[in-house]
Amino acid sequence: MVVTRFAPSPTGYLHIGGLRTALLSYLWARKNGGKFLLRIEDTDFSRNDEAAALAIVEAFKWVGLEHDGAIEYQSSRLSIYQEHVQKLLDEGKAYKCYMSREELDALRSEQMERKERAKYDNRYRDFTGTPPEGRDAVIRIKAPLEGSITVHDGVKGDVVFNVADILDDFVIARSDGTPTYNFVVAVDDALMGVTDVIRGDDHLSNTPKQIVVYNALGFTLPKFFHVPMIHNSEGKKLSKRDGATDVMMYKTMGYTPQALLNFLVRLGWSHGDQEVFSRTEMLELFDPSDINRSASVYNTDKLDWLNSHYLKNTPNSVLCELLEFHGITLVSHDKREILLDTIKERAKTLVEMAALINEVLVRPIAFDEAALKKGFKEDSRAVLENFATVLKETSELHLPSDYHHIMEKVVTDMGIGFGKIGQPLRVALLGKLSGPGLDSVMAIIGVEETLARIDALLKLK
């Protein structure tokens, strides 16, 4: 049984980097028919932040990830931690330290002056005397004094830490009784039965401390997979200042969950030359031991490409639903198949699709100056008038090909090239020189509207 977990602190939204580790954890659990747990790390924020948890669940829901069981809040597990602190106290594996804040600071500045590592001096490790009056104690764990601790990491390999370099008797419970992070993480992961810890490699150097806790409590160690960070274009850890880090912003920007997930799963992981992965393929092929060691740069060019790829392959009915979120209602539009077919070929995002759709559906309020100059020449008026005439004489116009035939007829009759009619017609219909195929546009908006738009342009000139 594989049990993984995602353990964010309640920051109020799901971070794009968080989504990646969540995805990898989710995939690994589901692939093995195991469990994927969600735990909110709110021991310090202590304001039982359910809103923040909900934001994460909302984002999960949007991308289609689902955690198993109830959400665990560390803030509501305080008694469990206290129990385990007490256990260590009873077994002499942890002890009360009465050092004051001032004493600690003094010790540190002394060590700094001597260019030594800031490190607790174990003064209360074997203390048996009378504690100082009226002073709250913190609880420290007895960490090994020498030797080394090796993290067997599924991504990085064996990472050896020298105890003398990194450890001291660190605090596991504050003077107010609340437990600290490294203690809580170890206790929770162990108690919740987590077998595979997949998390950012910024946690790698915390791991020895957690191992000390595991060992003291007699828990068996999980497998660790420390996945490399995602960097911004400056090569630094991704932060809120780097633009879109909130997962839900991607919904607003018109990306599909499949594209986003596909993009993220390929950051730091690959399967040969494959670029496009369906959910099923991810589940089938993902293995955390294939994760890269090195950090990657967050560059959304490929996300755009993936998004347009998925858009092109999304059924119109689904597109229709997705577009609702972006203010486009097409359910009752009788030409929506033609419209969507032509639009989805030329948009990178749903937002772009929405804009393109409006360009077709809404009569242009102004004509682009340059387009007018380039697209409407001396002979254009005659061409458009001819076209309008033939249009009025023809009945039963429905398909793009119907309109195409009329364009052909006019062109042949007048002995001109296609460009002579295409350019001015395009300006009339769309107000500019680019856009979907004209026959499609006309089929979508119909004869009446086509004539009206031509008329509007002719009146202006």
**Ranges within 356-415 binding RNA (CB under 7 A):** none
Among 82, 142, 253, 305, binds RNA (CB under 7 A): 305
Interacting span for RNA (CB under 7 A) from 93-101, 251-259, 316-324, 327-335: 93-101
- 319 contacts RNA (rule: CB under 7 A): no
Question: Under rule CB under 7 A, which residues in 52-81 are in contact with RNA?
Answer: 74
Question: Under rule CB under 7 A, which residues in 264-283 are in contact with RNA?
Answer: 266-270, 272-273, 275
- 191 contacts RNA (rule: CB under 7 A): no
Q: Which residues pair with 3 in a beta bridge?
A: 35
- 29 contacts RNA (rule: CB under 7 A): no
The whole-angstrom separation of Cα 418 and Cα 458 is: 19
Interacting span for RNA (CB under 7 A) from 14-22, 53-61, 214-222, 286-294: 286-294
The angle formed by the CA atoms of residues 262, 32 and 37, to the nearest 5 degrees, is 75
- 297 contacts RNA (rule: CB under 7 A): yes
- 99 contacts RNA (rule: CB under 7 A): yes
- 82 contacts RNA (rule: CB under 7 A): no
- 138 contacts RNA (rule: CB under 7 A): yes
Q: Identify which of residues 68 and 275 has a Cβ nearer to RNA in the complex.
A: 275
Burial of residue 358, with CB atoms counted within 10 A of its CB: 0-12 exposed, 13-18 middle, 19 or more buried: exposed
Among 100, 109, 317, 401, binds RNA (CB under 7 A): 100
Cα-Cα-Cα-Cα torsion 151, 152, 154, 156, nearest 10 degrees, comes to 60
- 101 contacts RNA (rule: CB under 7 A): yes
Among 433, 451, 456, 458, binds RNA (CB under 7 A): 433
Interacting span for RNA (CB under 7 A) from 20-28, 79-87, 195-203, 213-221: 195-203
- Token digits of residue 417: 């090239």
Q: Identify which of residues 63 and 172 has a Cβ nearer to RNA in the complex.
A: 172
Least spacing, CB of residue 128 vs RNA, in Å: 20
Size of interface with RNA, in residues (CB under 7 A): 86
Q: Identify which of residues 66 and 202 has a Cβ nearer to RNA in the complex.
A: 202
Q: Identify which of residues 293 and 363 has a Cβ nearer to RNA in the complex.
A: 293
Interacting span for RNA (CB under 7 A) from 81-89, 98-106, 280-288, 379-387: 98-106
- 294 contacts RNA (rule: CB under 7 A): yes
- 87 contacts RNA (rule: CB under 7 A): no
Least spacing, CB of residue 161 vs RNA, in Å: 5
Interacting span for RNA (CB under 7 A) from 217-225, 361-369, 380-388, 433-441: 433-441
Q: Identify which of residues 202 and 379 has a Cβ nearer to RNA in the complex.
A: 202
Interacting span for RNA (CB under 7 A) from 60-68, 190-198, 215-223, 425-433: 425-433
